[in-house]
Chain A
Amino acid sequence: MGEQTLQTMTWLIPVGPLLTFFLIVLFTKHNRTLSWLLAWAATISSLVLAWTVALNVFAEGYHHLEEHPNVVKSAIDWLPVGDFAQGTWLQMGVAVNPLTAVMLLMVSFAIVMIFVYSVGYHNYGQPRGSHIGEPNHGQEDPLIARFFALMSLFAGAMLLLVVSDNLLMLFIGWEIMGFCSYSLIGFWYAREYHLEPGAIPHIPPRKAAVKAFMTTRIADVVMLLGIVYFYRVFGTLNFADALSAHGLETAVHLVSAGIPGLGLMALLLFTGTVGKSAQWPLHVWLPDAMEGPTPVSATIHAAAMVSAGVFMIIRIFPLIAVGMGPQGSPTVGWVIAGIGSFTALMAATIAVAQYDVKGVLAYSTISQLGFMVAAVGMGAYVAAAFHLITHGFFKALLFLASGSVIHGMEHGAMEVHDHHTDPQDMRYMGGLRHKMPRTFWTFLIGGMALSGLPFITAGFWSKDEIFADAWYQFSHDGSALGLFVFIMLGLAAFLTAFYTMRQISMTFFGQPRTPLAEHAHESSNFMTIPLMGLSIFAVAAGWFGIPDTFLGLDLGKINLFHHYVGSAIYKVMEELHEAHLVHHAIETLPWSWVPLIASLVVALGGLAVGWTLYARKPLQKDQKDPLIGILGPGLHTFLNNKWYWDELYQKVFIAPTVYFSEKIVYEVMDKGIIDGFLHLVAHVFYTIGRYMKRTEELVFGDGVDWVKDQFLAMVKEFRQLQTGKIQEYVVVSMLIASALIAVVLAINYGWITSLF
């Protein structure tokens, strides 16, 4: 396909969904069917465009791509920032290289699946519900048009972010997604919870929405500093220009930046990822974001928003690599990989003690993102990207499947008229395998991919690649960071397999533990067909990343993912490596048995322990979670309460901020000190004025009164002409006018000059 055609197509990828948002909001919002049809049409055309562009990129072959990674490249002048005759503009543009191409494949497909699913999820075709801004169980949501409008905007923003050729446009998409996540998490803005003791704690969606927006905004304002720093140093925000070998070498030699500067820049930008991809310490928003409708959870937590955070640090990888390279500071790597691996393990420990079926997945998302971040932090560029893609598929699948489970449970609740039992609580499920077979099998596939079930699932191959990188760094370079990451992620992967097995067992195995589960039944085709679509990728996506030297054999160049995605920065990294600015170029690792054995042990071990505890003897009604006995109630409560991060932040940050705003800044500073001072001054003048008035009365007496009377009489006459308090206007204007005239005259006749 011609270059021009590809460029146009790339520009059009985000346009459809973005436009759909406006179309629905302005024109079709009252026609609910047309609204979702429009959203479908837009996302499906984006899918077609995205896949066409991506496949055309791959068709170049990776040898060619290594030399010329940016197959599609087009930019327009957007912001004038200097002499227009010299063409000083900040440009906006699109670029597709192999990395963005894979991302396009995953994002556009997952989004279409989610859009299809959403129609069923909101019970399209059922009688229309009457609860505006609240869930309508079993009835069609009255705000379905608004839902699809916001989802379209969300999808458009994500696609915009992916195709962007510069940091600013990426940031624009990034922030619009932030707004969409806010609006969609708070979609049921009127919902209130009346929690009973022992139930899973929920916060109202509107609060969860604010929490998500504000927590990510903390990171975003820091990231903004990173962006302007980037712009200042490189003189451009374009990835390809700035992050070329030439650009980076020039930046290194700039006095103001230098290598530590680049490290700082990388960390400022990375902060954005910490917020968006929910890494510790800013991970707290993500679990509460589950308050949104489930398709939203899938969009935020799999296909779009959180992936964007990791995608960004992969996109700027050469910068990070130089920042932590031989001449940079190892601190950069430790910070990134440290946060990633700590988050991975911490979130995994929390996930084992959750009862909310979506809550487990939420923490699992945080944990898996930690894997990717840790991979970037130790320089495993391809492994991070690979896990990002496979995770996108299987996590979208898991979220949608869990939504289907909840939908089934809600159906049960409707039939038995029980509106107190939380349909998301796994303790009340059980035995859904036979009630919801399609959901079960697809959930199982997603769960196995998440656990890293060896050889078949995608999750195995991508996790294995991270382990291989970590081990190589330790065994080959003697890097302590490599060993640290290897151990932390190994533990996290073990827990992952364990809690996934626990979740599947509690949900699907055994006998129904409540009438809700008893009466649950399979969701509509709108919901189950997307599950099947995603299942295919949750398995097959991994086959593109089987190592070339798997099991020590020489299999040829079968690791297509590695070669293609690697080619996006292959040349840059090669040149930077020659200039001794980075530790490693993009290289194929030599075979080692250690990581393979490790991933087999943790995945199978975790699954086995989970099986023993939960599947072999399924939970009975009212039976306590066996894990409480094993961990002890203290530790279990600690994990169940998510390490108490929320409570800590409430005490340390939120409450003091409110107090500082309302009491210190407003009442003490503004009302007390500043206004108090002004009132004091006014009081002093007033007092002086009173004494002067008295003096005046004593000294001048009648004379002044006469002037005043005359003046007032004049004013009164004037008042006849006008109504209201016009006299005041006249008084003031006349005073000002006469003062002005006096001054002008004084100057004019040189009176003032003579004073000096």
Chain B
Amino acid sequence: MNFIQDNLLPLTVFFPALAALIILLVPNDEKNVIRRLALAFSLVPLALTLYMWFQYDRYTANLQFEVMAQWFPAIGSSFHMGLDGISLPMFLLTTILAPLSILASFSIEDKVKMYMVLFLVLEMAMLGLFASLDLIIFFIFWEFGLVPMYFLIRLWGGADREYASFKFMIYTMAGSLGLLLSIQVMGLATGTFDIIQLMDKWVHMEGTHLAGTGLSIELVKNVAFWAFVIAFAIKVPVWPFHTWLPDAHTQAPTAGSMILAGVLLKLGAYGFIRLVIPLFPEQANLTAGILATFGMLSVVLGGFAAFGQWDFKRLVAYSSINHMGFVVMGIAVMAYAYGRAGSFADPGVAQDAIMATNGAVFQMFNHGLSAAGMFFLVGVIYDRAHTRDLKEFGGIWTILPVYGTILIFTSMASLGLPGLNGFVSEFLVVRGSWEIFAPQLAMAMLGLLMTGAYILKAIGQTLHGQVNPRWVKLPDMTLREHLVIWPLMVLMLSLGIWPQWLLVFINDTVTKLFG
């Protein structure tokens, strides 16, 4: 038992990989066995995460379940993992969405085994990334997540999947390249890849020039900072690095979109919070205004672009850009306050930063739920009607009353209706940004307005209006589909009414950052 207790975290991370190996042994044509096995296996990390959730000590709110093992001493890289109040919610999000996505993929008939294996590998990569406390490990998981996603789009995607998957791959790789080089430089300069150590060694590096070279530390730091920023900005995605996302989402299979929007986009935002700001506080502080501006542009232009869509799935895809923009704005406030001398002494600024950071992390979680739900519901109607063209729908509410009600509920969570989860996090971000980035925030309100416009457009075009005789025979949702969406809806409602069950975890760690 002790072994399990001491290694809870790596066990959780690598369990999906083990599961993938087991599934590889199942014969190809046993599709139902494969599906059920994958679902059952994906529940194990959830159970482990829940166990950790209740074990987590809120009072210290520091890194917990830490594991540190020798891995690559020659370069100063070690197998270092741990969870705090920021990564734990992300862990929970991933382990919740993975089984639901697998359940949503039961309708996949083609190459089921490969599909499930890739899915589990993807889950491992995401969990590993959230737990990593070593840059090399972080990068490995970062790249590892790319490949399964690429194939999920490439092999099970829609008509234009080759273009979309290639674009996704190239875009992300373009970001990774700089990330990798910067990581090397940081390791070389400090002799360690451990994030916790780097937060001291790299940030407070002495001297003016990098040892053994003629490069000024200032310059190296700046270059590395931008490399990090671009890599993560592509992943979030921040406008104008976002054009891979609508294509990837539109072409990906339903569950692929759920995971892509639900978790993969959070990797980028998580990178900002875990790496960019703690490792480059000065640079982050200086450029916080720029980041806030781009966050605002994501909110506004993402909202307008979503409103301009007539493909239901593409509309939802653009909504992710719109929502993640708020995460970016919250991160910008964190960046501003974290690296600013005297922030901690100024209770007003510290309060702003705590709220904005709380809001950003919480918004990541909330968007994970609502975006996954929305993509799933788009998938449900697409499976039946085989079209996503909003102009072709109409009157669906009369034909599928239950589906219609569920779609409205989920859309309203996405819209940020108070009483549901999205509102709380948006409120926190808006509150935190007011004093520091008032102009950007005021502009961002335009995007918030457009959120309403595109959500109502989607509901109006699909559900309202006279019944289109073409869809009269469509059957309402199946039990399996209910099982996917209900957990999400319960979470959305519970977080809207009583957000503290999750937010206390985030808050306590964030407060320590600024305390």
Interface membership of B418, Cβ < 8 A: yes
Interface contact B508-A84, CB-CB below 8 Å? yes
Interface contact A728-B151, CB-CB below 8 Å? yes
Q: B190 to nearest A CB, angstroms?
A: 13
In Å, the complex CA distance between A214 and B450 comes to 9
Inter-chain contacts of A79 with B (CB < 8 A) = 424, 428, 499-500, 503
Binds B, one of A170-178, A442-450, A564-572, A581-589: A170-178
Inter-chain contacts of B358 with A (CB < 8 A) = 80-81
Interface contact B308-A743, CB-CB below 8 Å? no
Q: A77 to nearest B CB, angstroms?
A: 7
Q: Which of B75, B143, B507 contacts A82 (CB 8 A)?
A: B507
| 220-236 of chain A: CB within 8 A of chain B | 221-222, 224-225, 228-229, 231-232
Interface flags for A661-673 (1: CB within 8 Å of B; 0: not) read 1110111011000
Inter-chain contacts of A132 with B (CB < 8 A) = 398
Interface membership of B213, Cβ < 8 A: yes
Inter-chain contacts of B427 with A (CB < 8 A) = 168, 224, 228
Q: Which B residue's beta carbon lies closest to that of A186?
A: B464
Q: A23 to nearest B CB, angstroms?
A: 14
Q: Which A residue's beta carbon lies closest to that of B398?
A: A132
Interface membership of A179, Cβ < 8 A: yes
Interface flags for A656-696 (1: CB within 8 Å of B; 0: not) read 01101111011101100011001000100000000000000
Inter-chain contacts of B307 with A (CB < 8 A) = 657-658, 661
Binds A, one of B12-20, B260-268, B285-293, B452-460: B452-460
Interface contact B184-A81, CB-CB below 8 Å? no
Inter-chain contacts of B441 with A (CB < 8 A) = 225
Interface contact A189-B465, CB-CB below 8 Å? yes
Interface membership of B435, Cβ < 8 A: yes
Q: Which of B301, B351, B504 contacts A665 (CB 8 A)?
A: B301
Inter-chain contacts of A552 with B (CB < 8 A) = none
Interface membership of B463, Cβ < 8 A: yes
If the complex has contacts A172-B419, A670-B305, A743-B184, are A77 and B212 also in contact, measured as CB distance less than 8 A? Answer: no
Q: Which A residue's beta carbon lies closest to that of B350?
A: A82
B interface, by DSSP: helix, strand, loop or mixed?
A: helix
Interface contact B503-A744, CB-CB below 8 Å? no
Interface membership of B32, Cβ < 8 A: no
Q: Which of A80, A132, A722 has the most CB of B within 10 A?
A: A80
If the complex has contacts A669-B301, A753-B188, are A206 and B465 also in contact, measured as CB distance less than 8 A? Answer: yes
Inter-chain contacts of A214 with B (CB < 8 A) = 449, 452-453, 456
Interface contact B430-A228, CB-CB below 8 Å? yes
| 61-104 of chain B: CB within 8 A of chain A | 72, 74-75
Interface membership of B114, Cβ < 8 A: yes
A interface, by DSSP: helix, strand, loop or mixed?
A: helix
Interface contact B452-A84, CB-CB below 8 Å? no
Q: Which of A174, A190, A660, A665 contacts B395 (CB 8 A)?
A: A190
Binds B, one of A43-51, A97-105, A388-396, A732-740: A732-740
Interface contact A229-B308, CB-CB below 8 Å? no
Interface contact A665-B147, CB-CB below 8 Å? no
Inter-chain contacts of A665 with B (CB < 8 A) = 301, 304-305, 308
Interface contact A736-B500, CB-CB below 8 Å? no
Q: Which B residue's beta carbon lies closest to that of A256?
A: B435
In Å, the complex CA distance between A175 and B423 comes to 10
Inter-chain contacts of B140 with A (CB < 8 A) = 740
Q: Which of B114, B408, B434, B446 has the most CB of A within 10 A?
A: B434
Interface contact A83-B305, CB-CB below 8 Å? no
If the complex has contacts A189-B465, A678-B243, A753-B188, are A744 and B72 also in contact, measured as CB distance less than 8 A? Answer: yes
Interface membership of A752, Cβ < 8 A: yes
In Å, the complex CA distance between A637 and B170 comes to 61
Q: Which of A172, A657, A753 contacts B418 (CB 8 A)?
A: A172
Interface contact A747-B75, CB-CB below 8 Å? yes
Interface contact B504-A81, CB-CB below 8 Å? no
Interface contact A723-B417, CB-CB below 8 Å? no
Q: A286 to nearest B CB, angstroms?
A: 18
Interface membership of A748, Cβ < 8 A: yes
Q: Which A residue's beta carbon lies closest to that of B240?
A: A674
Q: B362 to nearest A CB, angstroms?
A: 10
Q: Which of A190, A231, A667 contacts B466 (CB 8 A)?
A: A190
In Å, the complex CA distance between A25 and B405 comes to 9
Q: B31 to nearest A CB, angstroms?
A: 13
Interface contact A82-B147, CB-CB below 8 Å? no
Interface flags for B421-436 (1: CB within 8 Å of A; 0: not) read 0011001101100110
Inter-chain contacts of A675 with B (CB < 8 A) = 243
Interface contact A217-B452, CB-CB below 8 Å? yes
In Å, the complex CA distance between A675 and B58 comes to 46
Interface contact B308-A206, CB-CB below 8 Å? no
Interface membership of B187, Cβ < 8 A: yes
Q: A207 to nearest B CB, angstroms?
A: 8
In Å, the complex CA distance between A359 and B296 comes to 40
Q: Which B residue's beta carbon lies closest to that of A664?
A: B304
Interface membership of B35, Cβ < 8 A: no
| 326-377 of chain A: CB within 8 A of chain B | none
Interface membership of B354, Cβ < 8 A: yes
Interface contact B243-A660, CB-CB below 8 Å? no
If the complex has contacts A221-B445, A661-B304, are A80 and B500 also in contact, measured as CB distance less than 8 A? Answer: yes
Inter-chain contacts of B154 with A (CB < 8 A) = 725, 728
Q: Which A residue's beta carbon lies closest to that of B215?
A: A756
Interface membership of B384, Cβ < 8 A: no
In Å, the complex CA distance between A214 and B354 comes to 31
Q: A75 to nearest B CB, angstroms?
A: 14
In Å, the complex CA distance between A213 and B460 comes to 12
Interface membership of A55, Cβ < 8 A: no
Interface contact A179-B305, CB-CB below 8 Å? no
Inter-chain contacts of A82 with B (CB < 8 A) = 351, 354, 507, 511
Inter-chain contacts of A722 with B (CB < 8 A) = 114
In Å, the complex CA distance between A488 and B98 comes to 63
Q: Which of B74, B430, B498 contacts A748 (CB 8 A)?
A: B74
Interface contact B308-A84, CB-CB below 8 Å? no
Q: Which B residue's beta carbon lies closest to that of A724?
A: B111
Interface contact B305-A752, CB-CB below 8 Å? no
Interface membership of A729, Cβ < 8 A: yes
Interface contact B355-A81, CB-CB below 8 Å? yes
Inter-chain contacts of B445 with A (CB < 8 A) = 221-222, 224-225
Interface flags for A301-322 (1: CB within 8 Å of B; 0: not) read 0000000000000000000000
Interface flags for A8-49 (1: CB within 8 Å of B; 0: not) read 000000000000000001000000000000000000000000
Inter-chain contacts of A678 with B (CB < 8 A) = 167, 243
Interface membership of B225, Cβ < 8 A: no
Inter-chain contacts of B243 with A (CB < 8 A) = 670, 674-675, 678
Interface membership of B150, Cβ < 8 A: yes
Interface flags for B486-502 (1: CB within 8 Å of A; 0: not) read 00000000000011100
Inter-chain contacts of B304 with A (CB < 8 A) = 657, 660-661, 665-666
If the complex has contacts A77-B500, A81-B354, A133-B398, are A228 and B147 also in contact, measured as CB distance less than 8 A? Answer: no
In Å, the complex CA distance between A77 and B499 comes to 11
Interface contact B184-A752, CB-CB below 8 Å? yes
Q: B363 to nearest A CB, angstroms?
A: 14
Interface membership of A218, Cβ < 8 A: yes
Interface membership of B412, Cβ < 8 A: yes
In Å, the complex CA distance between A171 and B430 comes to 14
Interface flags for B460-483 (1: CB within 8 Å of A; 0: not) read 100111110000000000000000
Interface contact A729-B111, CB-CB below 8 Å? no
Interface membership of B403, Cβ < 8 A: no
Q: Which A residue's beta carbon lies closest to that of B58?
A: A84
Interface contact B147-A732, CB-CB below 8 Å? yes
| 120-159 of chain B: CB within 8 A of chain A | 136, 140, 143, 147, 150-151, 154-155
Known: A80-B507, A83-B515, A733-B147. 6 other contacts (CB 8 A): A175-B419, A207-B460, A210-B456, A657-B307, A674-B240, A723-B28
A selection of 22 A-B contacts at a CB cut-off of 8 Å is A78-B499, A79-B424, A84-B504, A174-B418, A182-B456, A189-B463, A192-B466, A224-B427, A225-B445, A228-B434, A256-B435, A661-B305, A670-B242, A670-B243, A674-B243, A678-B167, A678-B243, A724-B111, A725-B154, A744-B72, A748-B72, A756-B212
